[in-house]
Amino acid sequence: MTEKLNLFIGGSSVKSTTKNWIEVLNPATQEVLCEAPCATDEEIESAISSAKEAFFSWRETPPPERSRVMMKYQDLLKINQDEIAEILSKENGKTFEDAKGDVWRGIEVVEQAANITPLLMGETVENVAREIDSYSYTQSLGVCLGITPFNFPAMIPLWMFPMAIACGNTFILKPSEQDPMTSNKLAELFTEAGAPPNLLQVIHGGKDQVDQLIRHPDIRAISFVGSVPVGQYIYKTGTEHLKRVQSFAGAKNHMVVMPDANKNKTIDSLVGASVGAAGQRCMAISVAVFVGSSKEWIEDLKKEMEIVKPGPWDSKESGFGPVISAQAKEKITGLIEKGKSEATCLIDGSNCEVEGFPDGNWIGTTLFSGVKTESEIYKTEIFGPVLLCIEVDTLEGAIELVNANPYGNGTSIFTASGRSARKFRHEIEVGQVGINVPIPVPLPFFSFTGWKQSFYGDLHAYGKQAVRFYTETKTVTERWFEEDEESTKNLTINLE
Ligand code: NAD
């Protein structure tokens, strides 16, 4: 019998009473790993009301005490890193090393949450007017909600609930229905770390469950990560219901290659950043912009890309895994087909086979050159192991091209010139910039900062901005009067 995945309500696993279940498939084999429940209205209501009740005592828990739970939690995540990575690899398809990286980048956020107290400190100014002082506190919000995508089943939930909970809130997590098992493991370990029951609830399901959650009057703040149309929908609906929303969406990231760059390092970085994790990273490089004579390297890039092959998660030979689903494969191969009429296809990964895994969602490395910005393959987020090459004459032309793109998640430049790097860093309209670093995902003491259509909202993930997102600020202005003689006299008389 297929395993039925539980919800996580009240600090423990709870069997859902739903009649609607979603099959979770191993993308390398199509084996059914489990069935995930589409939580019922009552189950969602019960999760939110227990989170709301837990909030009133959790917000009174001193921040250092909350941090201690996070210290224990990061320790348990490290001890269980391999086990989490194995669950993650099976349901998501990414290679074991990549899955361990997914968990590790989440652990780094938990480490930050374990050091929350200084970030919660308020501000003081004495004598804002004579004998009047002002100061501010940060205070917890209430029940917060996280809705996460399939591509980082550990890291992205861990961007959200540890920061929100360390700030004194309680949390409902709705992970992707395509790989929901990792979230249950994260929740179990959180309880094991000593988190009081009801701080974290895991609700499974799809659009219907999200719709109920984002409209619920007791949800104070929503963090979303996923595709552009859904991100826009969550932002619009959440704010319409007067909630605080941060919505991280899709991307089309460019790497600018200058002719003075280190050729081998540039090519190595381009290959890893474009096809690693089967290109299913919001920070993947999907467009290489060759400036001037650097276009001569495209032939060498092709040779290197041809060497990297997809395969199962537990083989050291696998450069990357399958794409998440048969539907995703169909969409990507459709775009590759379209691209053949729009540009030159140097490598076509559409008909990729992996020995022993005839049913996997395999797509091999794919490379296009001579790509035009009007083409479908340029305008669409392909989210597969596909790299597009564009040629321009100057750095100014490259910057103009990147800035004209509607997305602004990540970008990078490879160059030996400090002057070119400085110009690029200063003028580029993208949130995360790499200089000779292909995937510049910031560590959690900074913020993850998409721009333009890659982000809707005003405060970004993790770091100081996340603390501002998950807290309210209360400002007090204070004045104390001296007791005057008359009232002192009255007081004395009264006392007699
Ligand atoms: P998705 O938008 O399909 O799903 C994300 C979440 O939204 C899931 O939990 C899903 O159940 C829910 N959802 C899906 N359709 C919905 C609907 N119509 N109404 C309400 N909820 C809905 O995204 P995905 O395919 O899981 O993830 C890939 C996307 O996420 C890519 O576009 C990628 O660029 C993006 N992403 C962005 C970042 C970032 O930080 N900007 C990070 C990772 C992934």
Between helix 96-113 and helix 155-166 the angle, nearest 10°, is 10
Q: Which two tokens stand for residue 134?
A: 């002002």
What CATH architecture applies to the domain 7-248? 3-Layer(aba) Sandwich (3.40)
For atom 9 of ligand 1, the residue with the nearest CA is 176
Q: Which atom of ligand 1 is nearest to the CA of 455?
A: 41
The pLDDT value recorded for residue 301 is 98
For atom 39 of ligand 1, the residue with the nearest CA is 248
Alpha carbon distance 182, 102 (integer Å): 11
Between helix 155-166 and helix 181-192 the angle, nearest 10°, is 30
Could you give phi then psi for residue 440, rounded to 5 degrees?
-85, 65
Q: Which two tokens stand for residue 95?
A: 């290679």
Which residues have CB under 6 Å of ligand 1? 147-152, 174, 176-177, 206-207, 210, 225-227, 230, 233, 248-251, 282, 381, 383, 409, 450, 454
Q: Which atom of ligand 1 is nearest to the CA of 251?
A: 34
Alpha carbon distance 27, 90 (integer Å): 8
- Say how many Å lie between the CA of residue 227 and the centre of ligand 1: 4
On whether the CB atoms of residues 174 and 204 are closer than 8 A, the answer is yes
Q: Does residue 144 carry a catalytic annotation?
A: no
On whether the CB atoms of residues 51 and 161 are closer than 8 A, the answer is no
For atom 8 of ligand 1, the residue with the nearest CA is 176
For atom 22 of ligand 1, the residue with the nearest CA is 207
Between helix 96-113 and helix 63-79 the angle, nearest 10°, is 160
Q: Which atom of ligand 1 is nearest to the CA of 177?
A: 11
Dihedral angle of Cα 372, 375, 376, 380, to the nearest 10 degrees: 40
Q: Which two tokens stand for residue 102?
A: 């997914």
Positions of CATH 3.40.309.10 in the chain: 253-453+462-493
- Say how many Å lie between the CA of residue 150 and the centre of ligand 1: 7
One pLDDT digit (tens) per residue for the chain, 496 residues? 899 999 999 878 999 999 999 999 999 999 999 999 999 999 999 999 999 999 999 999 999 999 999 999 999 999 999 999 999 999 999 999 999 999 999 999 999 999 999 999 999 999 999 999 999 999 999 999 999 999 999 999 999 999 999 999 999 999 999 999 999 999 999 999 999 999 999 999 999 999 999 999 999 999 999 999 999 999 999 999 999 999 999 999 999 999 999 999 999 999 999 999 999 999 999 999 999 999 999 999 999 999 999 999 999 999 999 999 999 999 999 999 999 999 999 999 999 999 999 999 999 999 999 999 999 999 999 999 999 999 999 999 999 999 999 999 999 999 999 999 999 999 999 999 999 999 999 999 999 999 999 999 988 888 889 999 999 999 999 999 987 656 555 555 454 4
Positions of CATH 3.40.605.10 in the chain: 7-248
What's the pTM value of the predicted model, to 2 decimals?
0.96
Could you give phi then psi for residue 381, rounded to 5 degrees?
-80, 110
On whether the CB atoms of residues 47 and 341 are closer than 8 A, the answer is no
Q: Which two tokens stand for residue 168?
A: 């004194």
The pLDDT value recorded for residue 131 is 93
The pLDDT value recorded for residue 445 is 92
The pLDDT value recorded for residue 305 is 98
In the sheet where 366-369 sits, what is the strand order?
344-347, 366-369, 386-392, 285-291, 253-257, 410-414, 432-435
- Say how many Å lie between the CA of residue 421 and the centre of ligand 1: 32
- Say how many Å lie between the CA of residue 223 and the centre of ligand 1: 12
The pLDDT value recorded for residue 496 is 44
Give how far the C-alpha of residue 208 lies from the chain's centroid of Cα atoms, to the nearest Å.
22
Dihedral angle of Cα 8, 9, 10, 14, to the nearest 10 degrees: -70
Annotated catalytic residue, options 34, 38, 144, 282: 282
What CATH architecture applies to the domain 253-453+462-493? 3-Layer(aba) Sandwich (3.40)
Give how far the C-alpha of residue 302 lies from the chain's centroid of Cα atoms, to the nearest Å.
30
Q: Which long-range contacts (CB under 8 A, 24 or more apart) does 457-465 make?
A: 457/235, 457/245, 457/246, 457/247, 458/246, 459/246, 460/246, 460/431, 461/159, 461/160, 461/223, 461/225, 461/246, 461/248, 462/109, 462/112, 462/159, 462/163, 463/112, 464/119
Q: Which atom of ligand 1 is nearest to the CA of 226?
A: 30
